[in-house]
Amino acid sequence: MTLAAASPASPGAAGCGEPAVAKERGQREVFCGLTGIVWLHRKIQDAFFLVVGSRTCAHLLQSAAGVMIFAEPRFATAIIEERDLAGLADANEALEQIVGTLLARRPDIRMLFLVGSCPSEVIKLDLAEAARRLTRRHLPQVRVLHYSGSGIETTFTEGEDACLAALVPELPAARDDAPALMVVGALAEVVEDQFRRLFAAMGIGPVGFLPPRLSTDLPAVGPGTRFLMAQPFLAGTARALEARGARLVPAPFPLGAEGTTLWLRAAADDWGVTPRAFHEATAFGEQRARRALSARRERLHGLRVGFFPDSQLEVPLARFLARELGMVPTEIGTPYLHRDHMAPEVALLPPGTRIVEGQHVENQLDRFRAERPDLTVCGLGLANPLEAEGLATKWSIELVFSPIQGYEQAGDLAELFVRPLARRARLEV
Amino acid sequence: MQLAVWTYEGPPHVGAMRVATAMEGLHYVLHAPQGDTYADLLFTMIERRHRRPPVTYTTFQARDLGGDTAELLKAAALDAVARFRPQALLVGASCTAELIQDDPGGLARTLGLPVPVVPIELPSYQRKENWGAAETLYRLVRAFAQPRSTPRGDRPTCNILGPTALGFRHRDDLVEIRGLLARLGVDVNVVAPLGATPADLARLGEADFNVVLYPETAGVAAEWLARTFDQKATTVVPIGVGATRDFIAEVAGLASIDARPILAAETSRLPWYSRSVDSNYLTGKRVFVFGDATHAIAAARVAAKELAFEVVGLGTYSREQARDVRAAARDLGLEALISDDYLAVEAAIAAAQPELVLGTQMERHIAKKLGIPCAVISAPVHVQDFPARHSPQMGFEGANVLFDTWVHPLMMGLEEHLLRMFRDDFEFHDEAGASHLGAAPAPVPVPVAVEAVRWAQDAESELRKIPFFVRGKARRNTEAFAAERGLATITLETLYDAKAHFAR
C-alpha cells in the first residue's frame, strides 16, 4: 500500500512521453460505476436503468442524483433482501416480477439495463441470463441488456464504459464497407450538435454518436467505421468496437481550443479533408475559444493545480490547464491510465509532471498538504475538509456533469477553475 | 426484492457512521468495496462538516476477492490506529462485506491493537440506518460504561442521549435542552454520542438519570443503562409547548426537584401567537404528518392541540417505533401509515386531501407536485435544513420555530391564492393603477415598434438548449451584442460570438 517510485520524468524531456507514472494502492475515495446512471439516463431518453443491489446502492444513487431523484427519473434499485439471499431461484423470480411491474408502469421504455452491483456480483446473480430471459419475454417492445456498475469492478465513469460496451453487440451491422465516423462517449446535446455541424462543414459523414439519444437510433458498425473517443474512460467500449471491425482514430480529447482542434484534425486527417477545408470549418470556432480563454488565462497563469483521482478526465484537463491557461500541474491522480488511449495527451504534458494511478487517500492527502497547490481538484467528500485546511478546491464531479467539450465550452471550462479562486479573493470574512 | 427510487433511510452502516462521526477519539474501520465512500459526502456536504468522517474503508475490489480481503481489513485497521491514534476502534462490515464473511471484528481483535476494539454486526439486508445508529451506540455504551464510582452529589445530574451527526436539528436541540436543564438546576454529566469520547462513555454511570432526546438512536442504549445501572430515562420528547412542559415535569420528578418555579417562569410565544386573532384562519386546517416516529408523534400533538389543526393523516417510516405511532394515531381517531414506500405515502396524501403537509424532504416534493403547502419536520432532509441560524425543534424556542415554519407556507399559499383569485378582478387587474389615490388609471403607453433583432431558426433552437435559468441572460446579452453591431439577424455564429464576447 505504499507509493512506488513517484519520480519525475527524466529531466530535459520535451514532454513526458515517458511519463513518471506511479501506482498506488489503498483506500480509494471514489464513486462506483453506478453513478454513471445519473447522466446516462438523461442521455438515452427511452432507456431505464434498474440496479440490482442493496439499500446502499439505492442510497448512493439518491445522494449522487440530488434533486434529480424527484423528477420521475428513469432509474431505480431492486433492493436485495434477506429472503433473496436464501436461494437464487427466488431472486430471479422476484426480479422478473419487478421488471414486469416497472414496464407496465412505464410503457414509454424501449430499453432496460439490468445493472449489476457489488452485492449482486458477490452472490453471483446471473444478470446475463436474466437479461436474456426478460428480453425473450418483453420483445419486441423492450430490449433488456445488462452490465456491471459495481464498485468492485468499476470506478465512477467506468460505469458509462460498461454500459456502452454492453450496447456494442446491439449495434446494427453496416450494410457496406463505406467509411463512417462514430463519436463515442456521452456528450451534452448542445456539444453533440456543435460537433455534428463541424463534421458536416468538413464534409465528414455519416457521423453517428454512441450512446444515441434514443435506443432505437443505434449507429451502425462495420469495417468502414472509424471511431473517435470523446471521453477518456472508454477502454472496454473501444475494445468491443474494435472486435466488430471498427478502427480507433487516436487523438487527444476535445477539451479547450487546442484539444478540440487536435481532436477534429485527427478525424479530418483520417478522412482526407484538405487543410484548407479544415481551416475554413474550424478557424472561427478556435479563435472564439481562444478569445474566451484569454481573459481567464490572466487569472490562472502560473498557479499550481493538483488532481485527486475521480473520472479519468484528470490528464486531459491538466493538459488543457497547463497549455492553454498556463497552470502548473503538481500531482495528477487518476483512477486508471489507459497507456495507448492517453498517449496523445501525455505527450502534451509539461515535463516533470507526476501522474499517480490508483489511490491511497491518506498518503495522497499528506502530499497535497505538503505541496499546497493553489487549486486542488477533488471529490465532495474531500473538498470542504480541504477548504477548512485552507486549500482552494474545485469539486470534480461538476466536470462530468457540465458541457465542457468543444470550442464554445472552452471558456466555461476555464471558468469552472477560475470561480473558486475568484470567490476566495472576494470574500472578506 | 423491493423496488425503490427514494429511500427514507440509508443502510445500517451509515447509522454507525453517524455515531462515529458525532464522537471524538473514535475511529471506524469499515470493510467495504470501492465506492462506499460516497457516504462521506453526506457529512461534508449536507451537514457541511469541516473534517472527513473518522472512517477508514478497506475499499476492496474484484481482484481482491480471491482471498486477501481479510488482509486488507487487517492492514486498514493497523494503518488507522497508527495514523489517527484513536481511544477505541469500531470495526464492522458494509452490505457487500457482510456477504463475503470475513468477520471484521474477530480479525481486528487478533491484531493485538493497543486500543479496545468494538465489533458491530449490522444486518444490512434486514435493517436500516436508524437501527444501525441505535445498535452502534448500544454496543459502545455496553463496551465502555462503568457503574457509578463516586457518591451522589448535592445537585442532580443526567446524561443526554441521542444526538448524532446528520441528525435533524440535533445541534440546536442540544443547546435548548442544556439551557433548560441548567435553569432547572440539573447538571449534565455526559452528552452522547455527539461530542463524546470513549472515555466519556465510561463515565455514563455517574449520572442519576438519562434524558433521551431521540428514541430512534438512543432507546436501546437507555434501556440497557436502566437495566444495568438502574438509571431511569425520560420518555417525553420535548417538542412543542405541551410536551416541553411535560418533559420539565418528568425531569423534575427524576431529579426530585420542584418544577413549579420554572414552569411558571418559562414561556414560548407560540401560545399567544396561536391565540391571536390573526391565527383564526388556521382552525381546522387539514394536515398530514409523516416522518420518523419521534417527530411525527410530536408534530401531531402540536398540530392538534397547539395550532388547532385537524390531523387527517399520521405515519412513519420507522418500523421499530411503529407501535408508538399507531397509538398516537388511534388517539386522533386515525389509522397510522407505517411504510417506507413513498408511493404509498403519496397515495395516502392524495387521498386525504390535506391543506398542509408536515414531512420529510420526500413529502416536500410530493406536496410540491400536488400543489399543497408543506413544511419539513423530520429527516431525511437536504442541505437547507442544516441551517446556519439557531433553529431548534425542542424546548420553548423550538416551539417558536415550529410556529413560524409551519404557518409560513400556509401564508404564502394564501397570498398566492388571493393574488390569483383577484388577478382578473376589476380593481386588481394589471392596468387598474392605484385606485385608492383617486387618480384615473394612466393610459399604458403603447411601445413604439422598434426594429427588433430577428432570431434565425437555428440560433433560436440553439438558445433553447441553454438551461432556462440562464437563458434570459443569454438572450439579452446576444441581442445587445447584435444591436451594438447593427446586425439584423442573430445567427448561430452571432450567438456564440456574443458568448465569447461576454466571457471576457
C-alpha grid cell, residue A298: 490572466
pLDDT at B431: 52
Q: What are the tens digits of pLDDT across the range B222-262?
A: 999 999 999 999 999 999 999 999 999 999 999 999 999 98
Q: Kindly list the residues from chain B whose CB atom is less than 8 angstroms away from the CB atom of residue A85.
A: 99, 125
Q: From the list A59, A101, A294, which residue is nearest B7 (CB)?
A: A59
d(C-alpha A273, C-alpha B16), whole Å: 61
Q: Kindly list the residues from chain B whose CB atom is less than 8 angstroms away from the CB atom of residue A289.
A: 500
Residue B299 within any structural domain of the chain: yes
Q: Kindly list the residues from chain B whose CB atom is less than 8 angstroms away from the CB atom of residue A86.
A: none
**Band (A16; pLDDT cuts 50, 70, 90):** very low
Residue B421 within any structural domain of the chain: no
Q: Give B230→chain A minimum CA distance, Å.
A: 36
Q: In this model, does residue B449 exceed pLDDT 90?
A: no
Residues of A forming the annotated binding site for [4Fe-4S] cluster? Answer: 32, 57, 118
Contact with chain A for residue B229, Cβ under 8 A: no
Cβ pair B233, B222 in contact under 8 A: yes
Residues B109 and B218 placed together within one structural domain of the fold = no
**Band (A6; pLDDT cuts 50, 70, 90):** very low
Q: What are the tens digits of pLDDT across the range A26-48?
A: 999 999 999 999 999 999 999 99
Contact with chain B for residue A423, Cβ under 8 A: no
C-alpha closest to that of B409 among B361, B362, B376, B366: B376
d(C-alpha B298, C-alpha A156), whole Å: 42
Contact with chain A for residue B50, Cβ under 8 A: yes
Q: What are the tens digits of pLDDT across the range A375-418?
A: 999 999 999 999 999 999 999 999 998 999 999 999 999 999 99
Contact with chain A for residue B61, Cβ under 8 A: yes
State phi, psi for B48 to the nearest 5 degrees.
Answer: 55, 45
Residues B224 and B284 placed together within one structural domain of the fold = no
Q: Kindly list the residues from chain B whose CB atom is less than 8 angstroms away from the CB atom of residue A379.
A: 41
pLDDT at A361: 97
Residue of B nearest to A294 (CA): B504
Q: Indicate yes or no: CB of A59 within 8 angstroms of CB of B11.
A: yes
Residues B294 and B395 placed together within one structural domain of the fold = yes
Q: In this model, does residue B292 exceed pLDDT 50?
A: yes
d(C-alpha B382, C-alpha B6), whole Å: 13
Residues B19 and B64 placed together within one structural domain of the fold = yes
Cβ pair B364, B297 in contact under 8 A: no
Q: Indicate yes or no: CB of B100 within 8 angstroms of CB of A28.
A: no
Residues B253 and B292 placed together within one structural domain of the fold = no
Cβ pair A155, A232 in contact under 8 A: no
d(C-alpha A262, C-alpha A44), whole Å: 28
CA angle B10, B8, B194 (to 5 degrees): 60
Least confident of B375-379, B396-400, B427-431: B427-431
Residue B351 within any structural domain of the chain: yes
d(C-alpha A100, C-alpha A135), whole Å: 12
Q: What are the tens digits of pLDDT across the range A240-264?
A: 999 999 999 999 999 999 999 999 9
Q: Indicate yes or no: CB of A381 within 8 angstroms of CB of B52.
A: yes
Q: Kindly list the residues from chain B whose CB atom is less than 8 angstroms away from the CB atom of residue A81.
A: 1-2, 125-126
Residue B6 within any structural domain of the chain: no
- Residues B262-290 have a mean pLDDT of 92
- Residues A270-278 have a mean pLDDT of 97
Q: In this model, does residue B444 exceed pLDDT 50?
A: no
Q: How many CA atoms does the CB half-sphere of A109 hold within 13 Å?
A: 25
CATH classification of the domain holding B235: 3.40.50.1980
C-alpha grid cell, residue B85: 491514534
Q: Give A114→chain B minimum CA distance, Å.
A: 13
B427/B33: higher pLDDT: B33
d(C-alpha A198, C-alpha A32), whole Å: 34
Q: In this model, does residue A89 exceed pLDDT 90?
A: no
- Residues B96-106 have a mean pLDDT of 91
> Is B278 annotated in the active site?
yes
Average per-residue pLDDT for chain A? 93
State phi, psi for A148 to the nearest 5 degrees.
Answer: -105, 130
The CA radius of gyration of chain A, in Å to the nearest whole number, is 22
Question: Got the DSSP string for B233-273?
Answer: E-----BSHHHHHHHHHHHHHHHT---HHHHHH---SHHHH
Which residues constitute the domain of residue B319? 270-410
Q: Indicate yes or no: CB of B125 within 8 angstroms of CB of A82.
A: yes
Residue B53 within any structural domain of the chain: yes
B79/B266: higher pLDDT: B79
The whole-angstrom distance between residue B274's C-alpha and the CA centroid of its chain comes to 26
Q: Kindly list the residues from chain B whose CB atom is less than 8 angstroms away from the CB atom of residue A153.
A: 61-62
Q: Indicate yes or no: CB of B62 within 8 angstroms of CB of A121.
A: yes
Q: Kindly list the residues from chain B whose CB atom is less than 8 angstroms away from the CB atom of residue A159.
A: none
Residues B393 and B297 placed together within one structural domain of the fold = yes
pLDDT at A12: 36
pLDDT at B266: 80
- Return residues 275-304 of A near B (CB < 8 Å): 284-285, 288-289, 291-292, 294-296
Residues B47 and B126 placed together within one structural domain of the fold = yes
Residue from B278, B425, B430, B458 carrying the catalytic annotation: B278
Q: Give B81→chain A minimum CA distance, Å.
A: 13
pLDDT at A141: 94
Q: Indicate yes or no: CB of B5 within 8 angstroms of CB of A379.
A: no
C-alpha grid cell, residue B90: 469500531
Residue B422 within any structural domain of the chain: no
pLDDT at A157: 97
Q: What are the tens digits of pLDDT across the range B145-161?
A: 999 998 888 899 999 99
Q: From the list A52, A63, A284, which residue is nearest B41 (CB)?
A: A63
B435/A428: higher pLDDT: A428
d(C-alpha B236, C-alpha A13), whole Å: 73
pLDDT at B471: 78
User: Given B344, B376, B410, which residue is the final one in a domain?
Assistant: B410
**Given this structure, which CATH class describes domain A180-273?**
alpha beta
**Given this structure, which CATH class describes domain A276-427?**
alpha beta
Count other C-beta atoms under 10 Å from residue A13's C-beta.
15
Residues B337 and B406 placed together within one structural domain of the fold = yes
Average per-residue pLDDT for chain B? 91
pLDDT at A15: 44
Q: What are the tens digits of pLDDT across the range A143-201?
A: 999 999 999 999 999 999 999 999 999 999 999 999 999 999 999 999 999 999 999 99
Q: What are the tens digits of pLDDT across the range A116-145?
A: 999 999 999 999 999 999 999 999 999 999
Q: Indicate yes or no: CB of B37 within 8 angstroms of CB of A27.
A: yes
Residues B290 and B399 placed together within one structural domain of the fold = yes
Domain positions in chain A are 33-154, 180-273, 276-427
Contact with chain B for residue A75, Cβ under 8 A: yes
- Residues B50-56 have a mean pLDDT of 97
**What residues contact B431, with CB distance under 8 A and at least 6 apart?**
B441, B444
The domain total for chain B is 4
Q: How many CA atoms does the CB half-sphere of A79 hold within 13 Å?
A: 27
pLDDT at A392: 98
Beta-bridge mates of residue B57: B30
Contact with chain A for residue B45, Cβ under 8 A: yes
Quick one: which H or E segment has residue B37?
none
User: Given B266, B295, B321, which residue is the final one in a domain?
Assistant: B266
pLDDT at A19: 62
Architecture of the CATH domain A33-154 = 3-Layer(aba) Sandwich (3.40)
Q: What is the DSSP letter of B444?
A: P
Residue of A nearest to B47 (CA): A384
Residues of A forming the annotated binding site? Answer: 32, 57, 118
Residue B434 within any structural domain of the chain: no
Angle between helices A410-426 and A314-325 (to 10 degrees): 80
**What residues contact A57, with CB distance under 8 A and at least 6 apart?**
A34, A51, A77, A79, A117, A118, A119
Residue of B nearest to A119 (CA): B96
Residues of B forming the annotated binding site for substrate? Answer: 413-414
Place of cell 422478473: A96
C-alpha closest to that of B243 among B201, B289, B304: B304
Where are the alpha helices (H) located in B145-214, listed in sequence order? Answer: 170-184, 198-202
Residues B80 and B45 placed together within one structural domain of the fold = yes
Contact with chain B for residue A127, Cβ under 8 A: no
Angle between helices B293-301 and B241-255 (to 10 degrees): 110
Residue B149 within any structural domain of the chain: no
Residues B403 and B460 placed together within one structural domain of the fold = no
Contact with chain B for residue A260, Cβ under 8 A: no
